[in-house]
Structure 1
Amino acid sequence: MAVLVSPVSEATFDDVQTVFGDRGQAFRCQCQRYRMGWYDHQSDNVAGRRELLRDQVSEGHGLLAYPEDEPVGWCSVAPRCDYTYLRQPTWKGRNEDKADSSAWAVTCFAIRAGYRGQGVSRALAGATVDFARDAGARAVEAYPMEPAPGKDVPWGEMHVGALSAFLAAGYRIVSKPSLRRAIVRFDF
């Protein structure tokens, strides 16, 4: 399936909400887990998280995938310092400045049911490189999952993307903090 990937803007917020739907984890989280932290994003305040996402989309921090004229996928990509939760688990053994706004991060994917497993995430992951470079980033990193051979990972856990999609986009592995998680990076 051919997929067009476009940066988000204030005008595409309704398309982002179409991808998130009206129930399920993407709807509930509104892509705020890595911005707010685990406990805050679990509150019942979906409307509040939606408004935070509206701000993010208005800033142009994200990508949408369209196989035709229907939005089917979302990817959050923004300066790494915007994601306060990333300063905890992904930082062990690193000596970079956590507040460096020239390092960007890819934290989340949401793909509508019926379009998963058709290359939408791969197209989005590939587009993050040019998107971050064009925004002036010196590097972009991500925190994907690598399922064990022959094992499926539930979609809710795969919201960070698959390692294979990032490797196909030219990212390199910089560390493996766990058996299933990698930190990958593309330096410009």
Structure 2
Amino acid sequence: MAPRTQFVRYRGSQVPWAGRREDKDDAGVWAVTCFAVRAGMRGRGLMYPLAAAAVEHARERGARAVEGYPIVPQPGQQVSWGEVNVGTPGPFARAGLAEVSRPTKRRRVMRLDL
């Protein structure tokens, strides 16, 4: 997690920008890009406290907003850790972020203005 401007890969991705008029150079918006949870600890709900801590981390460092770009597994679909490491909507919602767009069938943009 860091200012969104530091993630060069997102500049060319449709996920943060599709259907939105966001300034790609706005360093006041921080992005939670992934969660690192050790293999033996996955599936225990650790993304919830991590998402809350990410919001507080950004707030303490003067962020104007926090965004996350979670994946939404389709019913019955198995999603690998390589995909779900970006998070799912639940942890972001509990941390106060709300959905602002649906750039693809499986991805959401969630945001909290601080």
TM-score (norm 2): 0.91
RCO higher in 1 or 2 (8 Å CA, sep ≥ 6)?
A: 2
The corresponding residue for 2:84 is 158
- Cα distance in 2 for partners of 1:166, 1:152 equals 20
Structure 1 counterpart of 2:102, one-letter code: K
Gaps of 5+ in 1: 1-76
Structure holding more helix per residue: 1
- Cα distance in 1 for partners of 2:56, 2:88 equals 19
Is contact 1:146–1:164 with CA below 8 Å preserved after alignment? no
Deviations 1:7-48 (A, max 9, x none): xxxxxxxxxxxxxxxxxxxxxxxxxxxxxxxxxxxxxxxxxx
**Structure 1 residue 151: Cα displacement:** 2.5
The corresponding residue for 2:72 is 146
1:81 corresponds to 2:5? yes
Aligned residues: 112
Deviations 1:61-94 (A, max 9, x none): xxxxxxxxxxxxxxxx100000111112221232
The corresponding residue for 1:136 is 62
Deviations 1:119-160 (A, max 9, x none): 212210111111111110010101001112332211111110
The corresponding residue for 1:127 is 53
Q: Please give the root-mean-square deviation of Cα atoms over the aligned residues, in Å.
A: 1.2
The corresponding residue for 2:25 is 99
Structure 2 counterpart of 1:92, one-letter code: A
1:112 corresponds to 2:61? no
**Structure 1 residue 117: Cα displacement:** 0.7
- Cα distance in 1 for partners of 2:74, 2:93 equals 16
Gaps of 5+ in 2: none
- Cα distance in 2 for partners of 1:171, 1:102 equals 16
Question: Identity over the aligned pairs, expressed in percent?
Answer: 51
- Out of 88, 103, 107, the position equivalent to 1:177 is 103
